[in-house]
Structure 1
């Protein structure tokens, strides 16, 4: 067969460049954008897959609380050390969900599975919102994915993060049922369910609904459209709320500045601050180019204001204002209404992927260290009284995943530990022994460079049989008579010389 003439070959070769350019500048199809977003949604669960132990800061203490709750007083040691009092409160999402799941697959697998579900479920919520608003998936969702792994998720705020995922799906349903005159019917129970999962999530749903309705009506009467969501106010008023439910804390101005700087705090200072800067610049550019969808734009503005107006403590929970920063940025990115060219759509999730890769790497390393640290449990009898101590480096940036690792002693050894969230009037978990103050944060010591860590007079150790230390800075002293039973590079377990308590 004769070869093509040189002129024909030249035309084909010179046409390849323009073809690639046309593809890059073309708009993505609705199917292409959807498939890309769904793939990234599944990918968001990767940290839970690469790590043997979820590296969420508060996770071990939550897991211990679930275990005490599920035990119901059958374990003699748990019954002796702990009380669990159910309360109707806006912070029960995973507490209720783990009940049937743990019965099926066990406590630790159930906690892991729920955590693994939350990021993809949040991504599906983002996809649902953009799809129902625009019938396409573009840079809005792909940029918003970055904020799934926010500090709230890294810290292990399970109930809040689950509620946010469900709120996005609920808001998508609100938009989808816009023309139905009885839309209020399903949203009365939905509003109650969102509040039961987490009160802050319920508040975010109210803001999203108000912002959407305000854009349509251009009137404050839009607040009346949110009436199906107000019914959780009844149990809130009847219960009277938790002690210390509203508090700004000290140094409000400095704290507000600090939480904004740390808006996406995770592993790398440079990357985390750059993430915040990029998000704000993109939102500013979109606003100047009039590419903000008002149906989400008003909610974004309200959420941004709330990050400054909200107190730090709300409903017994901490960082109520802090966790809203990532939510406001997520909704802000979702509000970007721009049918961008293909190359920009595929570029949009790069920040999400880079951050996810760094998180996966850190989880894999820290999980291996957790496995080594937990070998200390082999030297601890069931029902031990343990004074945990975690040294937190004041100058460190990465969130410390080991702050509540000592709570695994309760999960696996039915031990009394001082790292639980068990403040009377605030939490459902109560301690019967250990004395006043044998709860979070009595196990934390903030270490400043140049200073020594002294443990000879560590108060919780006076109420314990064992002292379990975890930290990068080793102590300069131990309680008198302490005997080291087990040690790793950054942890050790000692038997204390306290007089044994009759059991």
Structure 2
């Protein structure tokens, strides 16, 4: 990999003045700004079409935000949950919710953050492209196809936000090169990215190291190892154990098969054929760029390092899952940004077509799932405030698409201040935890994984033993429900059942 696909002029300042006066440069700059802005706006479309984001984990995050912001005012939330603030590298959306919720309301504030993340990521891609080359190439446009990554679709909001900020920080690192006070800017920037999410901070460090490594004088030049020193200060709170969870795991079995899976699922979304085809097209362009020496080492080294990290990093770090899966799509995005291949307008249009098709599919799926979600959430009209709701979600053991309803039961917390069992509420892992510790009533107790011929019998569903209501969500009809349960609301793929001995805490006289 080379530092740049085009040799620099002998006199940088003279070449810069000559380039700035050219009509081609002015036209390219105008087109680049508008193209980046339009594509970034288009990236928000799924969140604008759906009344609530159709991300797998999103409802549970929203429930956590509600408890976080309640400050003990709601007697039911106080009865069921504990929330302990910890300054850790996983607070991006939480901190944004503090000022946004009073302005927009809880659900709209969450939706605003979800819509903002792909927009910011798109603009960050353009910022990197502009900082490196002062023009838009096919690589940057291809990188847009990785914005709606598996991480974002699963609802990893803090990581996705930190990745956008990491790209902006890298663009700033390049633009401020040679300025003696660059370190003074990057020290607080490093903390901002880290506090959003530690993985984004790691990606930022890899980007900056890769950039400096590409500019080394020889293989023995050790200075690139020290150049990113302004980013190391978040290590201090990590070493002090502030909010850190030491759990590290590669999973219980099938590590090699799993690692292969996260590589070919790097563009996984809702259509397996489209996703695999998209990946093959991107890899083909990357291969062509390498063969034709159109691969910019200033970003390419970071892409290679991220790929290696995808293979060697454990699946679970600091209590978070899919630490390595997050990196596979990031590596692909960074590799696309390394393509330094000027193409005519039709080439840019062709590259943008991949992103356009994929965002159209995501938008349609989100809109359709949101209509289903509107039917599902109507069940909460039959749930009294402060009830105990056991959610059971039937999930096929093998499926390509991301199911949006795996944590949908958390809306019982959001709208009815209920005790519900799909929340991220593990002690020493999450800031949210359950007051009740005699039995498990948190994620993943809501999941019922089933095989094609497996029957679902809710009479054996343990969380229902400690609940007032059973909320079932799934396309497969159960063969049985708990004895004495009475269905009070149903849709084609869900039902809400009142369980025997249910108590209405909001109106104790109505309980039975």
Q: Distance in 2 between matches of 1:220 and 1:275?
A: 38
Give the 3-state SS of the residue equivalent to 2:391 in structure 1: strand
Deviation at 1:257, TM superposition (A): 1.2
Give the 3-state SS of the residue equivalent to 2:481 in structure 1: coil
Q: Is the 8 A contact 1:33 1:136 kept in 2?
A: yes
Count of residue correspondences: 477
Q: Distance in 2 between matches of 1:399 and 1:131?
A: 34
Q: Which residue of 2 aligns with 1:92?
A: 91
Q: Which residue of 2 aligns with 1:189?
A: 188
218-227 or 97-106: bigger deviation: 218-227
Q: Which residue of 2 aligns with 1:324?
A: 327
Q: Does 1:366 pair with 2:365?
A: no
Q: Is the 8 A contact 2:310 2:327 kept in 1?
A: yes
Q: How does 1:155-234 map to 2 (within 5 A)?
A: 155-218=154-217, 219-234=221-236
In structure 2, relative to structure 1, the CA distance for the partners of 1:460 and 1:260 (3 Å cut) is: same
Q: Is the 8 A contact 1:462 1:498 kept in 2?
A: no
Q: Is the 8 A contact 1:86 1:428 kept in 2?
A: yes
Q: Is the 8 A contact 2:470 2:497 kept in 1?
A: yes
Give the 3-state SS of the residue equivalent to 2:294 in structure 1: coil
Q: Which residue of 1 aligns with 2:5?
A: none
Give the 3-state SS of the residue equivalent to 1:349 in structure 2: helix
356-365 or 337-346: bigger deviation: 337-346
CA distances 1:183-229 after superposition (whole Å, capped 9, x unpaired)? 11111111111111100000000000000011112434301011110
Give the 3-state SS of the residue equivalent to 1:29 in structure 2: helix
Q: Is the 8 A contact 1:57 1:399 kept in 2?
A: yes
Dislocated runs of 4+, deviation >3 Å: 240-244, 498-503
Q: Is the 8 A contact 1:377 1:409 kept in 2?
A: yes
Q: Which residue of 2 aligns with 1:19?
A: none
Structure 1 unaligned spans of 5+:
1-26
Q: Distance in 2 between matches of 1:337 and 1:90?
A: 33
Q: Which residue of 2 aligns with 1:491?
A: 494
Q: Is the 8 A contact 1:389 1:443 kept in 2?
A: yes
Q: Distance in 2 between matches of 1:97 and 1:425?
A: 23
Deviation at 1:480, TM superposition (A): 1.0
Give the 3-state SS of the residue equivalent to 1:388 in structure 2: strand
Deviation at 1:500, TM superposition (A): 4.4
Deviation at 1:273, TM superposition (A): 1.0
Q: Is the 8 A contact 1:33 1:138 kept in 2?
A: no
CA distances 1:397-430 after superposition (whole Å, capped 9, x unpaired)? 2110111111000000000000001111110001
Q: Which residue of 1 aligns with 2:17?
A: none
Deviation at 1:357, TM superposition (A): 0.4
Deviation at 1:499, TM superposition (A): 6.3
In structure 2, relative to structure 1, the CA distance for the partners of 1:308 and 1:76 (3 Å cut) is: same
Deviation at 1:28, TM superposition (A): 7.7
Q: Does 1:436 pair with 2:439?
A: yes
Q: Distance in 1 between matches of 2:238 and 2:247?
A: 11
Q: Distance in 2 between matches of 1:223 and 1:419?
A: 43
Out of 255, 259, 279, which is 2:282 matched to? Answer: 279
Out of 246, 249, 252, which is 2:255 matched to? Answer: 252
Q: Distance in 2 between matches of 1:220 and 1:245?
A: 32
Q: Distance in 2 between matches of 1:261 and 1:136?
A: 31
Q: Which residue of 2 aligns with 1:113?
A: 112
Give the 3-state SS of the residue equivalent to 2:459 in structure 1: coil
Q: How does 1:13-412 map to 2 (within 5 A)?
A: 29-218=28-217, 219-239=221-241, 242-250=244-252, 251-412=254-415
Q: Which residue of 1 aligns with 2:8?
A: none
Give the 3-state SS of the residue equivalent to 1:386 in structure 2: strand
Give the 3-state SS of the residue equivalent to 1:321 in structure 2: helix
CA RMSD of aligned residues (A): 1.5
Q: Distance in 2 between matches of 1:314 and 1:230?
A: 19
Q: Distance in 1 between matches of 2:314 and 2:501?
A: 42
Give the 3-state SS of the residue equivalent to 1:372 in structure 2: helix
Q: Distance in 2 between matches of 1:133 and 1:454?
A: 58
Q: Distance in 2 between matches of 1:396 and 1:339?
A: 39
**TM-score, scaled relative to structure 1:** 0.93
Q: Distance in 2 between matches of 1:204 and 1:244?
A: 20
Q: Distance in 1 between matches of 2:411 and 2:402?
A: 19
Q: Distance in 2 between matches of 1:34 and 1:195?
A: 28
Q: Which residue of 2 aligns with 1:6?
A: none
Q: Is the 8 A contact 1:34 1:136 kept in 2?
A: no
Q: Distance in 2 between matches of 1:28 and 1:268?
A: 38
CA distances 1:372-416 after superposition (whole Å, capped 9, x unpaired)? 000100000000001001111223221101111110000000000
Q: Is the 8 A contact 2:384 2:504 kept in 1?
A: no
Give the 3-state SS of the residue equivalent to 1:424 in structure 2: coil
Q: Which residue of 1 aligns with 2:462?
A: 459
Q: Which residue of 1 aligns with 2:422?
A: 419
Give the 3-state SS of the residue equivalent to 1:494 in structure 2: strand
Q: Distance in 2 between matches of 1:196 and 1:499?
A: 42
Q: Distance in 2 between matches of 1:177 and 1:53?
A: 39
Deviation at 1:61, TM superposition (A): 0.4
Q: Distance in 1 between matches of 2:359 and 2:27?
A: 24
Q: Distance in 1 between matches of 2:222 and 2:376?
A: 56
Give the 3-state SS of the residue equivalent to 1:485 in structure 2: strand
Q: Distance in 2 between matches of 1:258 and 1:474?
A: 30
Q: Is the 8 A contact 2:238 2:244 kept in 1?
A: no
367-376 or 277-286: bigger deviation: 277-286
